Amino acid sequence: MAIGKHRARRDAKAAGTVATQRAQVRKAPARAAARRALLRSAARFQGRRLLAALLALPVGLLGCLTTPIGRKLGIPWLMNPGRRLYQSLVRAAAEQRAERDESARQELREQEAAADAEAAEDGTDGTDGIADGIERPAATVPTSTTPEVSEGENVSGFRFEEAASEMEQAATQYDPEDAMEILAMVEGLPAALTSVANVMKILAERSDSEFPLEKEVADGFNDIFGALVSAVAVAEDMGPLFRQAHEQDIARHEDPRNGHDAEKGWNV
């Protein structure tokens, strides 16, 4: 009885932590897009302020002549025309920025709500995690003291660390023939990381349905899967970034002037 209560409290605490981490992973793309929109809005506002200052400068110089006349004759619109023009333009720019910012925040709220709703439909909202289907025996099952596998023996045939070590060694010894080979490797990163992410997804699902593991372990695999999915999104931007940064180099390679041999004359 006490063990069950302790286990329930522990599972509830772990579920809360996992739910928070999952929510952050789900909402990270939307929040990043909102941050970019707010930064663009702020930059646009500062540009409008600079433009307002440039436009108000000649009017302000003219105001040096009209302001004394306006004060003497009691005509307000002749006084400080440059300052009033600047304030009017900046006020309009600030109002437009506030509208853009509120629109970006509203879109963020909608995307976060959609992500939460989709997670709830998929059963991954943190309260009904991927490992909630783990079945426990009614009574405590004693562990066996008879060793079934000899030390160092690998009966499953799956050693993730060996495959990862081989990849690390291959990256250390990687010697591409040219930069286009690197481009091909970069553009293949999303598929490669997707495969690695799927490994964690499979382990999470099997921890739920097959392996005799606790809830925290299955949820941990699922969290790693979510983090790797986010890494896939970053990797998808690498290919366009590579092509943009080396646009001229790639153009010379893909469309050489008078053939590759002629283009080699520009080598330095």
- Residue spans of the domains in the chain: they are 20-128, 158-268
How far is residue 186 CA from its own chain's centroid? 18
190-193 own/partner pairs: CB under 8 Å, 24+ apart: 190/232, 190/235, 190/236, 190/239, 193/228, 193/231, 193/232, 193/235
* Residue owning tokens 């943190």: 126
| pLDDT at site 95 | 92
| pLDDT at site 140 | 46
What's the chain's Rg over C-alpha atoms?
31
Q: What does the longest C-alpha to C-alpha distance in the chain come to? A: 107
Interatomic CA distance for residues 23 and 188, integer angstroms: 28
| pLDDT at site 143 | 45
Q: Provide the Cα torsion 142, 156, 221, 16; round to 10°.
A: -10
pTM of the model: 0.42
**Confidence class for position 265, pLDDT limits 50, 70, 90:** low
